[in-house]
Amino acid sequence: MLLVLMAQGLQIDVDGGRARVRVDLPDEDAYEEVYETDTYVLYRARTGMTRLVIPSPEGASVRIYRAGSHRLVLSSHLPLTRAMKPGKYRINVSYDDYSWSGVLEIKRGMDNVLYIKYMEQKDGEKTEEREEYGDYTVVRRPYGRTYLRIKEPRGCSCEVLDEDGHRVHKATTPTGKYLKAGFYIVRLRCGRGEWEGKVEVKDGMENTLYVKHLNKEEDREPMDPEAFERLIEALEDASFSDEKMAIVKEAASKNYFTSKQVLAILEEFDFENDRLKAAKLLYPRVVDPENFFVVYEAFDYASSKEELRRWVERYDRTKRNR
């Protein structure tokens, strides 16, 4: 029985635990050397350059090591075209719960083109982390480096900002960026639809963001009074700042707020620094930014007000310039 996963470019043989990569192999006459096994085909063409080319499966992660050692030479995503030194390499390709591994010789002065035909289902305990929210999902897997990947929806303009409002990445989806661990604001725009959210990028993991649906301006309705009252009650019942912040993060992932509602949320935090973090988290979800000045009433120190004001100015400036 075959289950076709079009988004992944794989056909899954459920009974055998194998994934067949959907790929059209090139004409062998165009290559000087062809080496085929049960799971892959390696084509070589003399070009004067020494390169490794792996066209598919698109979006899969690839890690390349020197054969016989644990020294990492390259970590990237497919499709890949990369100049390499001649020699033998161990290549690991991974896509969701499937992987391929093999040792290949990269020959001098040739394009060494690898087509993977089958990937095997991974063994061992599941190490995936998954966070499901109303309009997006984040999937995390051990990766060795810290990477944010924005996969769906495709063809959207994308911006990634750090917590200080500085842009760290701009591209079209699907896209990705090596980052430091922390929280980042991700903005997507496709036509009249847009999405914005704050995503945690965890250290040493591939953090993959899937946005389920984009919002339109008319969809930005603030949280209704009854639901907001329950949110405030939950914050009052929480004993520690970390608990309160987790509640706010979850609420902000699914709802929008008025500036007065943000002020009420901040007043549930005991410490100034926590109020500042929560204000930065909630500002992108405010439906009336022209009234955000009321939020500054939550702060006792002029330095906190000034830091928030500068952050909002940077955030608005990058939003206008996208």
Any idea what the CATH number is for the domain that residue 61 is in? 2.60.40.1120
Q: Are residues 203 and 226 in the same domain?
A: no
- Quick one: which of 90, 89, 91, 82 has its CA closest to 62? 91
Q: Are both 225 and 180 inside the same structural domain?
A: no
Least Cα distance to 89 among 68, 60, 108, 75 occurs for 68
Single residue among 158, 184, 218 that ends a domain in this structure: 218
Among 172, 189, 218, the domain-final residue is 218
Burial annotation 283-316 (CB, 10 A radius, 16+ → b, else e): bbbbebeeebeebbebbeeeebbebbeebbebbe
β 18-21/10-13 pair status = antiparallel
Arithmetic mean of pLDDT, 71-89? 89
Tokens coding 176: 């990705």
197 contact partners, CB below 8 Å, separation of at least 6: 135, 136, 185, 186, 211, 252, 253, 284
Q: What is the mean pLDDT of residues 250-262?
A: 89
Task: Enter the DSSP assignment of 39.
Answer: S
CA distances from 146 to 7, 192, 295 (A): 24, 32, 34
pLDDT per residue over 88-112, tens digit each?
Answer: 898 999 887 788 888 889 999 999 9
Say yes or no: 24 and 97 in one domain.
Answer: yes
Task: Output the pLDDT for position 210.
Answer: 92
Alpha carbon 92 to chain centroid, angstroms: 21
Same-domain check for residues 31 and 136: no
For residues 89 and 69, membership in a common domain is answered with yes
Do 143 and 61 sit in the same domain of this protein?
no
pLDDT digits (tens, 9 = 90+) for 141-186: 888 789 999 998 888 999 999 887 889 999 999 999 999 998 898 9
75 & 133 share domain: no
Q: What is the CA radius of gyration of the chain?
A: 24
- Percentage of the residues of the chain whose pLDDT score is greater than 90: 43
State whether 57 and 150 are in the same domain: no
Q: Is the pLDDT of residue 7 over 60?
A: no
Count of domains forming the chain: 3
Q: What pTM was estimated for this model as a whole?
A: 0.45
| Shared domain check, 237 and 142 | no
* Cα distance between residue 260 and residue 8, in whole Å: 44
* Cβ neighbourhood burial of 102 (10 Å; 0-12, 13-18, 19+): middle
Q: Are residues 6 and 115 in the same domain?
A: yes
Closest CA to 231 of 299, 160, 293, 285: 285
Q: Which of 200, 218, 236 is the last residue of a domain?
A: 218
Residue 179: the pLDDT is 94
What CATH number is attached to the domain comprising 161? 2.60.40.10
HEC profile for 4-34? EECCCCEEEECCCCEEEECCCCCCHHHCCEE
Task: Say yes or no: 228 and 214 in one domain.
Answer: no
What is the Cβ-side half-sphere exposure of residue 44, based on CA atoms within 13 angstroms? 17
35 and 9, same structural domain? yes
pLDDT per position as a tens digit, 10-29: 654 544 567 788 777 888 88
Query: Per-residue pLDDT for 66 more than 80?
Result: yes
Domain span holding position 197: 129-218
- Which residue has 């980042």 as its token pair? 184
Mean pLDDT of 266-283: 93
